[in-house]
Amino acid sequence: MPLPDAKALLPVAQDAVGKAVEYVLAHPVTGVRDKGDREIVTDTDEAVERIVRDILVRETPDLGFLGEETGATGDRETYWVLDPVDGTTNFSHGLPLNAVSLGLVHGDRPVLGVIALPFLGTRYWAAHGNGAFRDDVRLHVSDTTDLSRALVALSNYGGGPDAPVRDLLSAALDRELSRRTQGLRRLGATAVDLVFVAEGALDASITLGNRAWDTAAGAVIAREAGAAVVDSDGSPHTTDSRCAIAVTPGLCDAVLSLLDITRETPYRPGWGAIPAAERRSV
């Protein structure tokens, strides 16, 4: 399938996210269940995914779909990707830092994103080449150039088979960022981190690990707002990236220098090609 007209698909994405927000606001949290690896799912996550998937299948039947809760269906080259409630733990505790995050991916590159923060009443969107917006206000990243003046978000400690390495990397970054920046935050929702970078409320967001439903929509929004959106080695961010780093350009080199600690770990591109005997345990 050729590159879709992302701007033309924005109304479909906006409508689907709007219906999701209506549901989230109307339905208190119920049915919290443990998914393992310190992750949970609620009945709301599953209901929102059904609502959004059904709209997208009806309106764009030629496009595929990937949801955090239900997996992939349809075209694998051009597909919607959804996190129905990013920041589910926040959501289950009544913390308003959570998001409905819907992106469109073509090949390995996100090209459209719509993210709503239901309990803050804000919505962010972008289409490739058309800028990024919050509630019709055009967004631009901060102009910060001094790491000591920066406010930075860092992803949570890890789950899954790489959790021991991720936890060690997170602890090391926690120490360095706490020492060298104006402030470090763990907000618990990658989509929230990324849109806050886009609007300049954060100067950088570092996510160790890269899951498309967490990052696709926010990566487009941050990139269209002027952020450098890259992997841990500075290469352009894609759905195949090991990590997702969004940073205002004036801090890119400083942030990437901190991420040199990911060398020879699973959080660096090319790690799978390194002989096992040469891989670092951090």
Tell whether 203 is in a known binding site.
no
Q: Which fold has domain 147-278?
A: D-Maltodextrin-Binding Protein; domain 2 (3.40.190)
**Are 6-138 and 147-278 the same fold in CATH?**
no
Annotate 194-216 with DSSP letters as a single string.
Answer: HHHHHTTS-SEEEEES--HHHHH
- Cα distance between residue 158 and residue 204, in whole Å: 20
CATH code at 6-138: 3.30.540.10
Per domain, the residue ranges of the chain are 6-138, 147-278
**What is the chain's length?**
282
Q: What are phi and psi of 112, to 5 degrees?
A: -150, 145
Kindly report the backbone phi and psi dihedral angles of residue 3, in degrees, each rounded to the nearest multiple of 5, phi listed first. Answer: -55, 125
Give me the amino acid identity at 87.
G
Say if residue 37 carries a ligand binding annotation: no
pLDDT at 140 over 90: yes
Per residue in 107-129, pLDDT (tens digit) is 999 999 999 999 999 999 999 99
Rounded average pLDDT over 171-181: 97
Q: Please name the amino acid found at residue 93.
A: H
- Tell whether residue 68 is among the known ligand binding residues: yes
pLDDT in tens, 83-110: 999 999 999 999 999 999 999 999 999 9
Structure confidence by residue, pLDDT tens digits, 15-53: 999 999 999 999 988 877 776 666 778 899 999 999 999
Name the nearest CA neighbour of 82 among 52, 54, 106. Answer: 52
Ordered strands of the 64-67 beta sheet = 71-73, 64-67, 78-86, 99-106, 109-117, 122-127, 132-134, 137-138
**Token pair in block for residue 156:** 């949570």
pLDDT for residue 224 is more than 60: yes
Better-predicted residue by pLDDT, 271 or 264: 264
Q: Do residues 218 and 183 touch, judged by C-beta distance below 8 A? A: no
Reported pTM? 0.94
Tell whether residue 199 is among the known ligand binding residues: no
pLDDT at residue number 273? 47
